[in-house]
A and B are shown apart, each in its own frame.
Chain A
Amino acid sequence: MFLSARTLLYDRLRLAISVGGMAFAVVLVLLLRGIMDGTVEKSTTYIDNVGADVFVAREGVKNMALSVSAVPEELVSELAALPGVTQASGVVRVTVTVSEGDRRQPGDLVGYEPGSGLGGPWKVTAGQPPASAGEAALDSVLASRLHVGVGDRVAIGGRDFVITGLTGDTTSIAGKLVFITLADAQILLQSPNVVSFVLLKIANPADAPSVAESILAEFDDTQALTRAEISGNDRDMLGELFLAPINVMSTIGFMVGLAVIALTMYTVTSERLRDFGVLKAIGAPQGFLLRTVMSQATVLGVAGFTVGLVAAILVGPVVVRFVPDIGVKVNWEPSVVTLAAVVGMSLLGAVVPVMRIIRVDPLLVFRR
């Protein structure tokens, strides 16, 4: 099909603009979708990395994000005694304000038992995790926003803490994590002997679902979820929040792409209508002419998609560097869906040109 290629290459500037326009639409859609996927994935960083296999909460609580849970602290030792449970640890989770002077930032507080080895930070980038009262480890992005480092003092929930360490992988759109001791957290909340969640480590992690089930059966007023369940619940909830704006933007992206392809194909075909008349006169079958136009449109679309996909993959990390709260993950499923949409757009964009070609009168060859 050298005719399609040559016709497209005939005006390289226009080709570049068209492919660029198409790529822009694709980047818009893929990046947005990538931000949704990456951000949602990042939002469960605590659940995914803390090391617990089962999470126990108050009855009816199925999420960690945007939920309020409280269970008696005695539950920790009761659960620790269950068969298969190698470790149990209570944590308090609550949103707080962290401030230093005039600077204020929201934080996602984790009160945990430093001695238990479960519930605290998994990646300490500077200093030490908190070991005793009045000590805190801050997410490193949060610390830099507050212009503080190890050794500085901050107010957490109105109380004074000294920063002993900074943590990594603890930033997400749901909040930036702040670690203090469980006892300090209980004082902040003025609720001693209460924890939000009990984290369990299971001897054989594959047994997590059956352990969770037996807890549900044995303990009233509790909810036990495996890591995969609670992580999935949080991701689903956040994903739903994202879905409406993503769909709106994807629709706009689709329309931009369609307009670019339709306009390009319309101008390319209008300029070359005489060529199509000539080919008809020579005896080219209708199908050949239509295939030429449709393959041009598809080539344009797929080229735009490829450029857009590469751009989205390259731009993603740059976006995250400037906005660490979000993640960008260009997954292959939405990419395939977008490619299919692009091919659909291309064929739709070729409809008007195809109709013009069907109507073109080969007798035009006799005109000057």
Chain B
Amino acid sequence: MSSPLVVHDVSKSFGSGDSTVRAVDRVSFQVEEGEVVVIIGPSGCGKTTLLSMLGCLLRPTSGEISILGEEVTGLSERRRARFRLRHIGFVFQSFNLISALNATENVEIALNLAGVAGTAARRRVSGLFDLLELTPRATMRPNDMSGGEQQRLAIARALANRPDIILADEPTASLDSHAGRVVMELMQSAVRAGETKSLIVVTHDMRILDVANRVLAMEDGVVREVDAATIRQAQANQAGAPGL
């Protein structure tokens, strides 16, 4: 069984000539089934750019990305859209829910797009709402829900079509620490429950490191693997709160 995600020598530059910004610089890594990978790094280091490429929303300037053994950088726009729909779930900092639709419909639309409708769709939604503790919110509009609930709803939408990979960009940044923790634990349990093969989370939030199997540190477009325990220790020392 090949790795769900293999990134090989991927670079992305913006602009041209003197003003070229090399947002991602020859990055290589791979993610195995069942893994939760957290990417950390300072603002502007290229995290979102990298995640956009993994999510088939942005083409690399060079390098290859293969997801489930399929080389995705060369696919047509149409094929990439289809690929996203079937294989990739997204969770964003701003929840990006559709405010005209209620909670159930926000998930149903993703299912419908993938050709799942009617009873099958409703059953899937209620299963996800049970898992994510959203059942009492099923007919509420996103704007009437708390931030944590909205992000859980976004996770339900991301999981709807049983994606192989979930990509999350700062999923806890808009939430208080309790809601952020709940969201991370739910995403982690979705991986454990086999709802998705792997989870990649980009964050500034060091508390998230708890759930990581592996941590990738990014700086100026370059990625290197770091030991989660070391980072946590450094973080704790810096905060002056040992043992936390």
Contacts and interface: CB of A to CB of B under 8 A. Distances in A.
Contact of B93 (A6, A10, A274, A368): A368
B98 interface: yes
A288 B58 contact: no
A283 B83 contact: yes
Interface stretch (B99-107, B123-131, B208-216): B99-107
A362 interface: yes
A7 B141 CA distance: 13
A207 to B, nearest CB: 66
A288 B96 CA distance: 18
B81 A283 contact: yes
A288 B94 contact: no
A166 to B, nearest CB: 62
Contact of B52 (A6, A280, A282, A366): A366
A280 B90 CA distance: 12
A360 to B, nearest CB: 12
A203 interface: no
Q: Give the interface centre of B78, B84, B109, B110 by most chain A CB atoms within 10 Å.
A: B109
B236 interface: no
Contacts of B109: 2-3, 279
A6 B108 CA distance: 13
Given A6-B105, A274-B96, A283-B85, A363 B113 contact: no
Contact of B110 (A6, A282, A362, A368): A282
A278 interface: yes
B101 A366 contact: no
Contacts of B55: 281
A282 B90 contact: yes
B82 interface: yes
Contacts of B157: 282
A10 B100 contact: yes
B96 A283 contact: no
A284 interface: yes
A107 to B, nearest CB: 63
Q: Give the interface centre of B78, B88, B94, B96 by most chain A CB atoms within 10 Å.
A: B96
A288 to B, nearest CB: 7
B21 interface: no
A143 B96 CA distance: 72
B84 A367 contact: no
Contacts of A282: 84-85, 90, 110, 113, 157
Nearest to A4: B100
Interface in A261-300: 272, 274-275, 278-286, 288
Contacts of A286: 78, 81
A285 B77 CA distance: 9
Contacts of A248: none
A239 to B, nearest CB: 48
A9 B157 CA distance: 22
Nearest to B108: A2
Contacts of B22: none
B98 A365 contact: no
A107 B153 CA distance: 77
Given A363-B52, A365-B92, A366-B169, A285 B100 contact: no
A285 B81 contact: yes
Contacts of B93: 366, 368
A7 to B, nearest CB: 5
B28 interface: no
B117 to A, nearest CB: 11
Interface of A: 2-3, 6-7, 9-10, 272, 274-275, 278-286, 288, 362-363, 365-368
Given A3-B100, A285-B78, A362-B57, 6 more contacts: A7-B100, A281-B96, A282-B84, A286-B81, A366-B93, A368-B94
24 contacts: A2-B105, A2-B108, A3-B100, A3-B101, A272-B100, A275-B100, A278-B96, A281-B55, A281-B57, A281-B84, A282-B84, A282-B157, A283-B84, A283-B85, A283-B114, A284-B81, A284-B85, A285-B81, A285-B82, A286-B81, A365-B94, A366-B93, A366-B169, A368-B94
